[in-house]
Structure 1
Amino acid sequence: MKKFYLVFLVLGVFAGFLSSCDDDDKYIPELPAVTIESESGGFSMLPTESIVLKAKVSHLRNSDLAWFVNGEKVGSDSVYTFKAERLGNYNIAILASNTDGEACASATIEVHGTYKYGTFIISEGSSSPGTIVFISPKGEVIDNAYYVENGGDLGGVSQDLFIKNNKMYIVSQNGGYDGGFLTVLNAETLKRERKFQEELSGKVSMPTHVVVLGEDDIYLRDNNGVKRFQPSTGEVTLIQGTNGARKNAMAVADGKVFATVNKTVVVIEAGKDEVSGTIEFDANVSGVIKAFDGNLWVSDASGCITKVDAKTNTKLGSSRVSDEAKSVLSASFAAAPSITAKGDTLYMSGLTSKIYRHVFGSDKTDLMVNAKDLVENVGIVYNTCAVHPVTGEVYFNSIKGYGVNYKVNNISVFNFNGDEPKLSANYENYTAFPAGTFFTYNFE
């Protein structure tokens, strides 16, 4: 009996050992998994704001957390509120660890200046300096923003702006004052970096439009044509083939400049003193703008809108607006293009109070609104409408009239997403003969 008892005891111990080994084999490590979420949904902010960040962690109960900003530990809770006063990009990381291992997630927060994102409306002024109005994405308005940031005035008859490499270039037809013919600002703070008055005096004749390929490769349209300005040497060169360039906005696509001359769009390549190509149309060109895919939209006075390949200068297709809308594509004295686009949907108003929408792919044109039906004191439409490239809302500038009546004016914002047009915002009495509406997002 003792022998049998020993055998059973040994077998029991062996079975227990096997059971213990089996349990060890079934153990599965619980590594943490972590992601970073923004309470607001965004990772971009002004220096006066803050962003609440949350660590979303699996097995949080058994995990230790550590927050890092640019490699420096700043917290150990599941929630961290990020603040920063200096502009720039900040790397945010969260490290989650437990007895089985660790996991990490990271994100980038952009702390940007007041003017990095939003909408600008430039005004020519009336026997006075030009002005610039800024509307933030939240609808907050800063009137005469250049003066606010610099304590001086832009040049007389400010007409156009362009943003490149975080610099804003503003051209003023008459120059003078604090800004000159060309003013270069920090695009986030609007602080002036340089102005060009004496350097351009006698070399340009009432410049109206500007585009930039590089800091030493600036193109100005004036009474003689399109001129290349090189700040490093002060040299100004008339681009051969641009004589008679229309007083209208130029476009940049595929690293080239596109300007309008009568029935053509001329192509200017960096560093060259003559046009490198010409694209012909059936009638006077009334607008050339960059398309969403990097190509070009071109409108002409015949009522035709054409898609152009910016690399090859070939026409990719054309679409004709309705007979009713045809007149708003005429080559008028407006300084802004006759067309504005979001995707393949284009809007146009010309110098009328009527805003039309044309869908390129379906050749469909619709009258969206007569601004006079929703906005008071729309007497004169000053330059053309402009569609916001993100929200799709259409901005429309108008004044009550000439004389002292120009002081009664509207920046009207229309939303066409519903069955009926909606006036989503109306900013009264901020402009003085508005030359154009510019969205920072179009320069990204």
Structure 2
Amino acid sequence: MKKSVWACGALISLAVVSCSKNDVTEPLPVENPEAEIVNVLSQNTAAQEDTLFFKVKTTKGAAWVWSVDGRQAGNDSILKFVSSDMGEHIIRVAVSKNDKTVSAQTNVTVYGKYKYGTFVLNEGNMTTENGSLTFISPRGVVTDSAYFKANGTELGNVAQDLYIHHNKIYIISQNGKKNAMGTSFNNDGLLVVANAETLKKEAAYNDELAALSWPSHVAVLNEENVIIRDNSGLYRFNPITRSLTFIKGSGYAAKMTMAVSNNKIFAAAGSKVYVVEPGKDTLTYAMDMKASVSGVVKASDGNIWVSTTGTPGKISKINFRDYSLIKANDITTGSLSAGWGATPGITAKGDTLYFSGAGTKMYRHIFNQGTTEFIADAKTMVANANIVYNNIAVHPITGEVYMNTIKGYGLNFLINNISVFGMSNKATLSANYQNYTNFPAGIFFTCSYN
């Protein structure tokens, strides 16, 4: 046994010495480079002018070159991707080492800057200037005069309302190219239609709408049925034929935002809610709410919320199919008034509704529980929040409540706030954008439009 072990050891020693004498060394294999693109933000979509970040993961000692859509984009360790060109883009990195090159690529889709976010439509000073659009991106970046920046031209005098339908935004102005005193203004007029993602103007209508008297609101059923409210009532405008038709029976339609649900328009009119359907020149129905209607809003299930200011005030839910009353809750805390403005006195996210009576005190009503509570007074949270200019609006996804305020009239309107309140438990000021509005006509969330 001992001899066997020794012999084995001797043989091993001999082999080692023999290898050393021959001096034979196998060459190391050439290391191939590796290429991987790491998406830092894990996003493959971005708005125009937004930035995405990509970095390369590769072999030590390798060199690389980035390209975007076939054009070289540098060799930094991180690629900052920014584009104003909508559509799909190809990001590629080519990695080289030891005369070998490999590559990796990923795709990015760029959508219009204004596709997602919040618009504040501004009337402007009716005697001296035109309307304008303020835009707040989901990241909280504010673009003022967004329509002008996209077109180099302005909205009409006293912009009042907007509606988004099939990637088009429709903006109505009270005076169009002339103010109330008849002074001419250089702008795009009464009804402007633009691309909803880019705000690039597609059409403007003026002479076709000359019969209108102070148009204030617009809602769209389809490209041939644009419903416009003015001092006489409701009109059906067909942009294709350029025909304007008064809807019989629609007199006294209120200066208030109209709701659209299931291809029907619901519009407040005194104690009634009018129903308008496409292609019809007469009202489909007129619901009698037995008290002054202060708000008509689409519910998340397609039915209709209606607020009234009788004694007591009520929030009612109406069936959109047969216009029957589903349920009505009495409101004895706070005010459901729409105020003097042109926006509804209620705003809703799911089964939760908010109202402020066009003042700074905010209230929350949970419909299925029938409970109402005071939430907060914006005056205690926002400096110079003295006058609420048109009513509050709740974001249909985040549940945050937006409020536009001004310090006062005269030059005090230049001191203003777009305030955003989180409403999880109690109200908290989650964002405040100062001095971006100019007599704001309303707050509009792009995600509210299907």
Q: Could you tell me which residue of structure 2 aligns to residue 208 of structure 1?
A: 216
**Other-structure match for 2:152:** 151
| Cα drift, residue 215 of structure 1 | 1.5
Residues in 2 aligned to 1:263 and 1:51: alpha-carbon distance in whole angstroms: 55
State how far apart, in whole Å, the 1-side matches of 2:55 and 2:90 are.
13
**Whole-angstrom distance in 2 between the partners of 1:333 and 1:403:** 18
Deviation of 1:350 (Å): 2.0
Q: Measure the CA separation in 1 of the matches of 2:399 and 2:154.
A: 32
Matched, 1:313 2:323: yes
Contact 2:43–2:52 (CA under 8 A) maintained in structure 1? no
Distance 1:46 1:416 in 2: 27
Letter in 1 for 2:191: L
Aligned to 1:138: 139
| Structure 2 counterpart SS, 1:417 | coil
SS state of the match for residue 240, structure 1? coil
* Cα separation, 2, equivalents of 1:368 and 1:41: 37
Native 8 Å contact 2:299 2:350 kept in 1: yes
Q: Which residue of 1 aligns with 2:402?
A: 395
Choose the corresponding residue for 2:205, options 189, 196, 204. 196
Q: Which amino acid aligns with 2:320?
A: A
Answer whether contact 1:307 1:316 (CA < 8 A) is retained: yes
Match for residue 119 of structure 2?
120
Q: Summarize the alignment of residues 249-398 of structure 1 with structure 2, pairs less than 5 Å apart.
A: 249-302=257-310, 303-321=313-331, 323-325=332-334, 328-398=335-405
Equivalent position to 1:417, from 421, 424, 433:
424
Question: Could you report, residue by residue, the CA deviation over 1:30-52 in whole angstroms, capped at 9, with x for unpaired residues?
Answer: xxxxxxx9764555312444476
1:270-320 alpha-carbon deviations (Å, 9 max, x no partner)? 000001112121211111111111221111113211111212222211222
Task: Give the Å deviation of 1:89.
Answer: 6.6
Distance change >3 Å, CA 91–CA 318, structure 1 → 2: farther
Name the residue aligned to 1:71.
none
Structure 2 letter corresponding to 1:179? D
Measure, in 2, the Cα distance between the counterparts of 1:163 and 1:441. 10
Partner Cα distance (1:238, 1:427) in 2: 40
Are residues 279 and 91 of structure 1, via their aligned partners in 2, closer, same or farther at CA, if it must alter by over 3 Å? farther
Which residue in the other structure is 2:435 paired with? Answer: 429
1:362 aligns to what SS in structure 2? coil
Work out the CA distance in 1 between the residues paired with 2:43 and 2:277: 38
- Say if 1:89 and 1:294 are closer, same or farther in 2 by CA, change over 3 A: farther
Which residue matches 1:76? none
Aligned residue type for 1:198: D
Q: What is the alpha-carbon distance in structure 2 between the residues aligned to residue 141 and residue 188 of structure 1?
A: 16
Partner of 2:256: 248
CA contact under 8 A between 1:179 and 1:195: conserved in structure 2? yes
For 1:331 and 1:397, the matched residues in 2 are separated by: 14
CA distance in 1, matches of 2:419, 2:84: 34
| 1:404 correspondence with 2:411 | yes
Does the Cα contact within 8 Å between 2:208 and 2:244 map onto a contact in 1? no
CA offsets, 1:78-112, max 9 Å, x none? xx9998764247899xxxxxxxxxxxxxx996521
Unmatched runs of 5 consecutive residues or more in structure 2:
1-37, 57-78, 92-105, 178-185
Which string of whole-angstrom CA distances, capped at 9 and with x for unpartnered residues, describes residues 164-216 of structure 1? Answer: 01000000000013221100010000111111112212x11110000011112
Cα separation, partners in 2 of 1:403 and 1:313, compared to 1, 3 Å: same
Structure 1 316/90 Cα, relative in aligned 2: closer, same or farther at 3 Å? farther
- CA distance, structure 2, for counterparts of residue 379 and residue 82 of structure 1: 43
Q: 1:404 to 1:91 in 2, by over 3 A?
A: same
Paired residue type of 1:441: C
1:238 matched to 2:238? The reply is no
After superposition, the Cα gap between the structure-2 partners of 1:271 and 1:90, relative to the gap in structure 1 and judged at 3 Å, is farther
Contact 1:239 1:273 in 2 (8 A): yes
CA gap of 1:110–1:270, structure 2 versus 1, over 3 A, is farther
Deviates more, 1:310-319 or 1:349-358: 310-319
Counterpart AA for 1:190: L
1:31 match:
none
Structure 2 residue aligned with 1:70: none
1:44, 1:242 → 2: CA distance? Answer: 44
The residue type paired with residue 348 of structure 2 is A
State whether residues 45 and 110 of structure 2, in contact with CA within 8 Å, keep that contact through their aligned partners in structure 1: yes
Contact 2:307 2:336 in 1 (8 A): yes
Deviation at 1:364, TM superposition (A): 0.9
State the Cα distance separating 1:391 from its structure 2 match.
1.1
Distance 1:422 1:272, change over 3 A: same
Q: Take 2:244 and 2:419, find their aligned partners in 1: how far apart are those partners?
A: 39
Specify the SS of the correspondent of 1:267.
strand
Query: In structure 1, the residue corresponding to 2:447 is in which secondary structure?
Result: helix
Cα 1:232–1:81 shift into 2, 3 Å: same
Query: Could you list the runs of 5+ residues in structure 1 that have no partner in the other structure?
Result: 1-36, 55-79, 93-106
Letter in 2 for 1:247: K
